[in-house]
Structures are given as C-alpha cells and as structure tokens.
Amino acid sequence: MSLSVIIITLNAAETLPDCLASVRWADDIIVLDSGSTDATLAICQQFKVQVFHTDWPGFGIQKNRALQKAQGTWVLSIDADEQVSPQLRAAIQQAMQNPTYTAWRMPRQSWYCGRFLRHSGWYPDYVTRLFRRDGAVFSNDLVHERLLVQQGQVGTLPAALIHYSFLRFEQVLDKVNSYSSAGAQMLHQRGQQSSLTKAVLKACWAFIRSYVLRLGFLDGAQGFLQAVSGAEGTYYRYVKLWLLNMNHDQRHEQRCYLHRYPHVKQAGSEELLGFLGDISTQGMMLIAYQSLPPESHQHLVIQWPKNIDIKQPDFIVEVEIRWAKDYQEQEGLFCMGCRFVQLERKDFKRIDAIQTQLGVEPGFNPERFSS
C-alpha cells in the first residue's frame, strides 16, 4: 500500500521543515504552493518533494487540487504547521493494512502561544485526514473545509496529530482577521443574514461555550486568551457578514416578483419580469423585461409616492414612468438609487422593440397601461 502526503502552503517556512521531516517516510510528498515569497520553496527543494504552483481559491478547492496530484493508494492530508509523531506514523501504517475502513480520523493536539490546549474544545478535536485516494474529496468551502467520505466507514486512530497552530499571538490576530473575512464571505454566498445584535450575541456565546462549558479555564491564561480571540473571530465574522448584507442591498437590485399586471392588456405582458432594486429614500425603483439580459441593467426608472403599497398588483397606474436620460438630463445614464449604470444606444433600441411588442410607444407612456 502506497501513501501520498499532500500539503498546501503559503509562506510556511517557519513550520514547514519539521512538517516535511515528520512525513519523509511516505512514498511521495506533494506540496501545492499559492505564491510563497519566503523560504518555503527552497525548503521544498531541500527535502526533494514535488512542488506545484497555483493561485488561491480557498482551502477546500486547494486541497482538492492537491488531491488530484496524488498517486498513492492512500492519502494523508496535513497542513504545513502540523507534524506526524512516531506514534501516529505507526498507527497510520497499520491502518493502511486494514480493509475495513475507507478513511481514518485522528485526534489533534494544538499548540497555542506557549502550551498545548487540553480543553476549550481544542482536544481531542478529531480530524479525518487519512483516506483512500478514490474514496473521498474535500468540500469546496473557503475555510473550515471538510473531508467528504463518499463510501465506506471511518475509523479512529489512537495517536494524535501535532498542530503548532499559533506560535505567537500576532498569528492569532492575523488569523482572526483573515478567517473572519473568509467565513463572512462564505455565509454571505449561502444567503445568510446578520446584524450587529446577532454578532454580539454570537460572540458572547462563543466565549461562554469555550471558557465555561468546554472548561477553557483549566487551560490557564492561554485558555482565556483562546476564548477571547475565538469570541472576537465570531464577532468580526458576523459584523463583516452584516456589512456584506448592507453593501449587497445597496449595490444589487433585490428582485420582487409581481403577481401580474392586470392593466396591461397587450399580449406579451407576461414577459415583464417584475421590479428590481431597493426602495431608496427618493422613492425610486427599476423595472426590467425578462427577455433582456439581467446583467446588462437595461431598465426603466419608476418614481412613485412613498406611501404607495408596492405589494398591490395594480399600483402601476399610479406611478410616473420616465426615461432616466430625461430624469438626469444625461443620455444613457439610468439612475439606480445613488448609482449610475452606463447603457449603450443599442440597449435603448432593444427596449423600444419590447415596448412596441407590448403596444407601447417609445417613451413608455404610462397611460397605455391604464384600464
């Protein structure tokens, strides 16, 4: 049974030598680097490992890229700040001879600014890292990726993987910032919402869970530091998600589908997609047609009284519709709240064509919509 070790790196010169030395017994070692500027590549040459270069798409995708380079029957995935102890090596070699399991998890013992944490939720901290090459892949998460075992069972190794996660407190602060940003982006992509209150409550719960419920106080000063920094990371993640939510609402149109337009009698009215945009303080919104590419922002501007109920399907007769070029006295600029999007003249022609199909003359006379 052959074993491939895969490692992803970025400026990992401080911990990489001990990491590579702990797995040099493997059949081959693959390092996937994403632009290191320190001595990482020189260290790889010194250990004569296979090095590949790529960009940085996130942890999950990057590890899957490294997995595709592996040739062994079994794969061991470790980080550049982790080490395989002699006890874990023996357990791995024995596990590869066991046909019962497709993958193996192992406890992880992590170093935090001067000591190994034994509580705080940091131990045993089981991670699944040893697996048959054809039996598992990594999730595509930006951070906190998981190994997805596609078939078979997962066994448990008795020896721990050594993790020198934080040698200095500056590393803690750097990781709190980078991971909270990536975590917020991942949550935002999943459509989750946040608020300042939610961020504070989540942070308080993170501290209580780590320091009290998971006995972090038994880890001494480092236990307290970890609980505080973990709470900070949670707070920043949800604050950043809150800000992403707000920026998204300001920059992108929120799609609000109408029931139907009862006052549009012409055939083709079902092509109306609905309303895009948020309700700004100026009381403006945008209307678009389904047959036009949504990414091209080919819209008309609609202005209506602030007290109008936009949930009513017949409010179209109450609004004033104008070309944005008339509204701003600049041809080709459509007002979108406080943003402007440049349109080409060909876009106006396409909108005119749609209006003609709906029986509306260019200029979009709202009287044509009245019953």
pLDDT at 253 (0 to 100): 35
| Lowest mean pLDDT segment, chosen from 127-131, 141-145, 315-319 | 315-319
Q: Are 328 and 335 in contact (CB under 8 A)?
A: yes
Distance CA 254, CA 271 (A): 18
What is the total residue count of the chain?
A: 371
User: Among candidates 363, 341, 340, 342, which has minimal Cα distance to 351?
Assistant: 363
CB atoms within 10 A of CB 344: 11
Residue 288 has pLDDT above 50, yes or no: no
Q: What are phi and psi of 170, to 5 degrees?
A: -60, -35
Q: For domain 3-166, give the CATH number.
A: 3.90.550.10
Relative to beta strand 147-149, strand 136-138 is: antiparallel
Assess whether pLDDT exceeds 90 at residue 31: yes
Q: Where are the alpha helices (DSSP H) in the chain?
A: 16-22, 40-47, 59-69, 86-95, 169-189, 196-207, 220-251, 324-328, 345-357
pLDDT at position 260 over 60? no
The model's confidence at residue 317, banded by pLDDT at 50, 70 and 90, is: very low
Average pLDDT value for the chain = 76
Average pLDDT value for residue range 46-57? 96
Query: What is the residue extent of each domain of the chain?
Result: 3-166, 169-251, 255-369
Closest CA to 18 of 159, 172, 160, 163: 163
Cα angle: 145, vertex 129, 182; to 5 degrees: 15
List pLDDT tens digits, range 152-179: 999 999 999 999 999 999 999 999 999 9
Q: Average pLDDT, stretch 291-307?
A: 37
pLDDT of 133-149, one tens digit each? 999 999 999 899 999 99
Q: pLDDT confidence of 294, banded at 50, 70, 90? A: very low
User: Residue 252, SS3?
Assistant: coil
Gap between the Cα atoms of 302 and 117, Å rounded: 60
**Residue found under tokens 């009215």:** 269
Per cent of the chain over pLDDT 70 is: 67
Percent of residues, the chain, with pLDDT higher than 90: 62
